[in-house]
Amino acid sequence: MVIPFILLVFAFNYIPLFGWIYAFYDYKPGIPLSQTEFVGLKFFKWAIEEKEDLLRVLTNTLALSFLSILASPLSVIFAILLNELRSKKFQKLVQTLTTLPNFISWIIVYSLAFFMFSSGGLVNEVLMRLGWIDEPTTVMGNAAATWWFQTAITIWKSLGWGAIIYLAAIAGIDQELYDAAKVDGAGRFQRIMAITVPGIMPTFFVLLLLNVASVLSNGASGFEQNFVFYNSLVADRIEALDYYVYRVGITTGEISFGTAIGIAKSLISILLLFLMNALSKKVRGHSVF
């Protein structure tokens, strides 16, 4: 049963690694690779020379990723609050409504955000009618608010979906522990802190380590979010590493240079994963793999 999924992973994640060879050639579209000049590490050196652009892009990438990581406990808190709801029907309703945004494409998310927060959007219309502002403003074109706005969008889209994992972890906790705590006179909050939180911490740490290892991929949202929300007003604050690779490699046509940056990103991400795995083993006594 698992063979089709292994084949899909192999086809879309391992076969494309053959394309890494383009980073070592001065490749031009339309010219066979056999007739292309071999340049070795030229484009990796070029990436170091273009340090101003890369520093800006890395700053955006790390800022957006670490803001998402800082917001990751919200899924834990939300899952605990959902689990504590007495009405199961209401719990399922809230869980369904908060999970749905995960399945909405980023194109539709952008359309909704534009409808709500553009200069002529619903929020500005309401605020102006209430007399709270005199002129329309837009966070989508405000460079200073870009990181916070994009993080808020990410939280809205992923909060319910992230809570599902923690709800599954809570369901795996032995219910006899809760019964024993009740007998000992523990209140609701005490049971949460003494049983629920420790019970889901291993799951939280595993996901946290994976998120840290993927900081260069800009967290969960990745390229799609940057692509749809990118505009000239916020370009310097929203352009993350994946979008930079796309812009350089596809839009500008520097395929070899874009491939070199992509290789460097992949190798650093792998290194971060192993470092975080070693740190987890040293601090917690358990490793991810």
pLDDT score at 196: 92
pLDDT score at 221: 59
pLDDT reading at 219 higher than 60: no
pLDDT score at 277: 78
Whether 18 is covered by a domain: the verdict is: no
pLDDT reading at 286 higher than 80: no
pLDDT tens for residues 245-256?
A: 888 888 888 889
Whether 20 is covered by a domain: the verdict is: no
Residues pairing with 264 in the sheet: none
pLDDT tens for residues 87-140?
A: 889 989 998 999 999 999 999 999 999 999 888 888 888 888 888 888 888 888
Whether 153 is covered by a domain: the verdict is: yes
Whether 49 is covered by a domain: the verdict is: no
CB 158 within 8 A of CB 102: yes
Provide the CATH number for the domain around residue 274: 1.10.3720.10
Whether 118 is covered by a domain: the verdict is: yes
CB atoms under 10 Å from CB of 143, counted, come to 12
C-alpha closest to that of 160 among 219, 99, 82, 100: 99
- Which has the higher per-residue pLDDT, 109 or 286? 109
pLDDT tens for residues 194-208?
A: 999 999 988 888 888
pLDDT reading at 190 higher than 80: yes
Cα 53 to the center of its chain, rounded Å: 22
Domain count, the chain: 1
CB 248 within 8 A of CB 254: yes
pLDDT tens for residues 141-187?
A: 888 889 999 999 999 999 999 899 999 999 889 889 988 998 888 88
Whether 13 is covered by a domain: the verdict is: no
CB 260 within 8 A of CB 251: no
Q: What sign does the dihedral 139-252-256-20 (CA atoms) show?
A: positive
pLDDT score at 288: 65
pLDDT tens for residues 16-71?
A: 888 899 999 988 888 888 888 899 888 888 888 877 888 888 889 888 888 988 99
pLDDT reading at 283 higher than 80: no
Model confidence band, residue 218 (pLDDT cutoffs 50, 70, 90): low
Phi-psi region of 149 (alpha: psi -120 to 50; beta: other; left: phi over 0): alpha
Model confidence band, residue 223 (pLDDT cutoffs 50, 70, 90): confident
pLDDT reading at 217 higher than 80: no
pLDDT score at 110: 93
Whether 252 is covered by a domain: the verdict is: yes
pLDDT score at 73: 92
d(CA 232, CA 249): 19
Domain enclosing residue 272, as ranges: 58-284
Whether 80 is covered by a domain: the verdict is: yes
- Which has the higher per-residue pLDDT, 289 or 103? 103
pLDDT score at 75: 92
